[in-house]
Each structure stands twice: as structure tokens, then as C-alpha cells.
Amino acid sequence: MSVRVRYAPSPTGFLHIGNARTALYNYLFAKNQGGEFILRIEDTDLERNVEGGEESQMNFLRWLGIEWDESFDVGGDYGPYRQLERLDIYKKYVDELLEKGLAYKCYCTSEELEAEREALSDNKFDNIHYSRRCMNATGADLSELEARGEYSVRMKVPAGETYTFNDIVRGEVTFQSEDVGDWVILKSNGIPTYNFACVIDDHLMEISHIFRGEEHITNTPKQMMVYRAFGWDIPTFAHMTLIVNEQGKKLSKRDKDTIQFIEQYANMGYLPEAMFNFISLLGWSPGIEEEILDHDRLVELFDVNRLSKSPSTFDKNKLTFINERYIKDLSTEELLELCMPHLVSAGILEGQTHEWATELVTLFHDRLSYGAEIVDLYDEFFSDEMELGEEEAAFIAQEGVSDTLKAFKDELAGLDEFTAEGIQASIKAAGKKAGAKGKMLFMPCRIATTGQMHGPDLPKALALLGKDTVVGRIEKVI
């Protein structure tokens, strides 16, 4: 049987890290197996759909480097790929179940259902299931109900059935039909519910494997019941474990401490290749020590037997580490491209040349964890108000330092061209003049011009700062 998998987002929001992982694992599995990866839009929950959700999800999947073989935009033989465009298909299958007596119409209003639930909630020993009032109604009662016109369709959950499946992650999982009440498969507006539409589509689209989050595990018995009602084979399921934050709590969209939307990472200047790599490790391990793995390597290594059985922690340090590694491999042009939007929006490039921008990003290449950080690094070393910390001030206060600084300032002031080479020579000359060397030479020069004891290559940094600023800073410190 050929491998066909799908990522089936609901356009109820933007691409979340958990969704991205689901998409990625389906994608990696398909590519590893030489199968097809399908993108299907599950847009049946009208109230929850958000404007732009679908487009944004697709844009950021592509940004990550996840391409699909079939969907409404790239075509395919199994369309339509949006559920709202498949309503007549679902209707046909609902009718079939009604005819076979495996489903029935329910005319109850939401108030009636609510009252029923309330009345039943006193009974602590039974699961609260729908009373089957409409299924059991006959004669005048039934006519009265039917006269209402509007109805939903409920699955008639068979008694005494066991639903067992062999989950790739969890092994054998079993549910009993007693735990499931007669659930709605078609709402009164003619739109199917997720559990029903999902099965019809997965079957018709010949989906072989389903990788999805463990929050869907309790949906699986409902879905199996539909497969059985039609006599269809069930696909292979893999319910992936939760992603948790560093405190071990399930990542929640409200969790302010962890950035969770792919778009936010893109906007901050994380690299798509690094995100692809990082997300691949959120619940799966490559079985080798190396964790910096590019697209092709991940496709090659992806093995469902190494899906994690315990929750995976969203480790921010690991993300930073991976992103830094990918940034280090960038060419100067790529690095500039990554930093450019951030430099521009911070106004740092005003009045500066392209060369200046190039030298600036090169100077910080080794220190950059993500694109937007260039602004912080710039501010740290180049901001107008330079304040000395206690330690720095104490260093400068040492005997002889002011002579060194005066000599340094004079040398710099005498430079015709304020280049890194010229500045390098000035430091040397100042040392000779003032009789300072080693740390007692370099540290004062660095502190008096950058306010810091550590930092990027000093002559290069000062060349970028410009003569007036540098000389002005030294004068102030003296």
C-alpha cells in the first residue's frame, strides 16, 4: 500500500509550533517513504474560523520548507481539499447511514439538550449520554418532532463494541462504546462535525497513516465507529505526545513566556532551516548524536520507531543554539539580508552606506542568535549614551590609564582615514607613548570607546562608529 498522509489544519488560528510539528512529521514520513503529503483544510467550524488563518498557515508552512503534493492550490486527484466544498459528499454518506439505521435524526433544541444534561447530571454513576429521545419516539411524538423541520443527525453508537487500535506511539489503545454517547455527525446547518468529515475524507483520499497530537486520541473511537459502519479499513494512527514548556506544563497559547507561533519566529529573524531542524526534534530523536540536521538528512533519518513516548520539552536554549549554528553558516550577503529589515525599522541605516551595513553585520556575525538581535547588539556598542558600569569605571580609574587614553585620543585624532588598520596602529602607538601594554593597554581603549570590557573586534567596531563619536567618547571618559 502506498503511503499517503495529510496535514489537516482548521483555519481557526495561525501556525502554532504544535501544528507545525504535526505537519512536519507527516511530511518527513511521506518523504522518507516516497509517499504523498496532502494538505486538507478542515474549515467546518464556521464560528471559529479566522480571517486569513488558512493563508497564513500555508505561507508559514512554506516558509519552513514544507511543501505539499496535493491541495486546492497545487491540485491533485482527490479534491476538493477544503471541507466546505465537500458538503454534498458528506450528505451522501450521512444519508447512507440513515438508511441503514446506523444514524438517526435528532430534532432536540439546544435548550432541551441542556435541560436533559442538567437532569442527568445528578446521576453520578452513569456517563451522561444523549437520551435517544428522538431515536425512540413513535406515533404522535415522532410526528410532533418531525414537524419541527430542523434536525441534526446523530450516530447510533452500537452497544458492547470495543475499539482497539495499534498506535505507533502508544501501542495498543482500547475504548468501549459505552463511553461514547450518540454524537452529532451532521449539524442542523448541513455541515458535518470534525469526527465525521475527517473519516470520510481520510478514506476517500486514501490516507494510510495519521500523525496527530495526542489531544485527538479520544476522537479515535468515534472515528473508528464510522469506519466500521461503512466497512472501511482504518489507517494507522500515531498520536504524538505533548509539547511542554520548561516547567513541564502543556504549551498553551496563552503562555506568555514561550513564543509559539511560527510567524513570530520568522519576524524575529530565525532561519526557516533552523526552525525546521528544531521542530523535527520536538518529540522525535534521530538516533545519532548529531542534532544539526538539514532537510535531506532529516528525511533520510526519519523513523517512526523513534517518536518520543514522553512529553517533549520546548527547550529555548536548544533553539538558540541551533539557530546560531545556522546563522554561522550564512554568507555575508545572506546575513545582511536577514538583518536588513531589523536595521531598517530601527533606523540604524539612515545616512549609512551599504558597505557600512555589511561591516556592521559582519562584526556581529559570531554573536548573533537571531536577526532582530542585531539591533540590541548595535545599541549595546553604538548607542549615543555610553554609561560605564562600576567595574569598568574602576578599571579606568587606575594609575596611568588616563595617560594611555590621552595618547590614544591624540593618535586617533591624527588619523586621516579612520580605518580599522589605522585604529589598530593607533592603539600600538599609544601603548608605546604611554608605556602601557597588554591588558593595561587594550582594556582602557576598549572601555573608553565602547563602555564595555568585552565586545567585538575593537578596531573594526570603532571604524564603524566613526572618528567624531570615538574621540568624543574618549574625551568624556578622560
Q: Which residues are catalytic?
A: 253
Q: Which does 134 bind (CB under 5 to 8 A by kind): Zn ion, ligand GLU, none?
A: Zn ion
Q: Which of 243, 380, 369, 252 is nearest to 317 (CA)?
A: 369
C-alpha cell at 10: 482548521
Calpha distance 476→84 (Å, rounded)? 69
Residue in the block written with cell 548573533? 368
- Residues 144-203 binding Zn ion (CB under 5 A) are none
Question: Cell 448541513, residue?
Answer: 190
322 contributes a contact to Zn ion by CB under 5 A:
no
**156 — phi, psi (to 5°)?**
-90, 100
Binding of residue 279 to ligand GLU (CB under 6 A): no
Rank residues 53 and 455 by Cβ distance to ligand GLU and give the closer one.
53
Rg (CA), the chain: 32
Shortest distance in whole angstroms from residue 198 CB to ligand GLU: 5
> Interface with Zn ion by CB under 5 A: which range of 38-46, 98-106, 181-189, 332-340?
98-106
Residue 106 is a binding residue for Zn ion (CB under 5 A)? yes
Mask of contacts with Zn ion, 18-57, x by CB under 5 A? ----------------------------------------
Q: CB 109 → Zn ion: shortest distance, Å?
A: 9
9 sits near ligand GLU (criterion: CB under 6 A):
yes
Task: Give start and end residues of each alpha helix (H) in 262-331.
Answer: 262-267, 272-280, 295-301, 316-328
Report the distance separating Cα 114 and Cα 117, nearest Å: 5
> With CB cut-offs between 5 and 8 Å by kind, which of Zn ion, ligand GLU, none does residue 9 bind?
ligand GLU
Cβ closest to Zn ion, residue 38 vs residue 106: 106
**Distance (Å, rounded) from C-alpha 230 to C-alpha 223?**
11
Q: Pick from 257, 246, 359: which is nearest to 311 by CA?
A: 246
Site mask for ligand GLU (CB under 6 A), range 42-61, x = bound: x-------------------
CB nearer to ligand GLU: give 216 or 433: 216
Please select the residue that binds ligand GLU; options are 94, 153, 198, 458, rule is CB under 6 A.
198
Of 3-11, 232-240, 336-344, 447-455, the window that binds ligand GLU (rule: CB under 6 A) is: 3-11
- Of the candidates 108, 198, 199, 427, which one interacts with Zn ion according to CB under 5 A? 108
Residue 212 is a binding residue for ligand GLU (CB under 6 A): yes
Beta strand ranges found along 112-255 (DSSP E): 152-155, 162-167, 171-176, 184-186, 209-213, 236-240, 243-244
CB 307 within 8 A of CB 238: yes
User: Which of ligand GLU, Zn ion, none sits in contact with 106, Cβ below 5 to 8 A by type?
Assistant: Zn ion
Closest distance to ligand GLU from the beta carbon of 72 (Å): 15
30's grid cell: 511521506
Question: Residue 198 binds which entry of ligand GLU, Zn ion, none, with Cβ cut-offs from 5 to 8 Å by kind?
Answer: ligand GLU
Residues paired with residue 284 on neighbouring β-strands, in sequence order = 307
| Helix residue ranges per DSSP H, 73-132 | 87-99, 110-120
Interface stretch with ligand GLU, choices 8-16, 47-55, 112-120, 370-378 (CB under 6 A)? 8-16
Stretch that binds Zn ion, among 71-79, 103-111, 203-211, 333-341 (CB under 5 A): 103-111
Amino acid of residue 4: R
Spatial contact of 360 and 371, defined as CB atoms under 8 Å apart: no
Q: In what order do the strands lie in the sheet with 236-240?
A: 36-39, 4-7, 209-213, 236-240
Q: Smallest distance from the beta carbon of 439 to ligand GLU, in angstroms?
A: 59
Quick check: 359 and 460 in contact, CB under 8 A? yes
Nearest to 364 by CA among 379, 354, 353, 383: 379
C-alpha dist (Å) from residue 413 to 110, 430, 443, 445, 475 = 83, 12, 19, 14, 11
Between CA 427 and CA 445 the distance in angstroms is 7
Q: How far apart are CA 267 and CA 223, in angstroms?
A: 38
Rounded least distance, CB 227 to ligand GLU, Å: 13
**Separation CA 264–CA 310 (nearest Å):** 27
Q: In the bound complex, what is the minimum distance in angstroms from residue 106's beta carbon to Zn ion?
A: 3
Residue 228: name its binding partner from Zn ion, ligand GLU, none (Cβ under 5 to 8 Å by kind): none
Closest separation in Å from C-beta 211 to ligand GLU = 8
We find the least distance from the C-beta atom of residue 66 to ligand GLU, in angstroms, to be: 15
Instruction: Indicate which single residue of 216, 297, 318, 325 sits in contact with ligand GLU (rule: CB under 6 A).
Output: 216
Query: Three cell numbers at 350?
Result: 539612515
4-12, 112-120, 248-256, 366-374 -> range binding ligand GLU (CB under 6 A): 4-12
* Among the residue ranges 18-26, 105-113, 301-309, 395-403, the one whose residues contact Zn ion (CB under 5 A): 105-113
For Zn ion, the binding residues (CB under 5 A) are 106, 108, 134
For ligand GLU, the binding residues (CB under 6 A) are 8-10, 42, 198, 212, 216
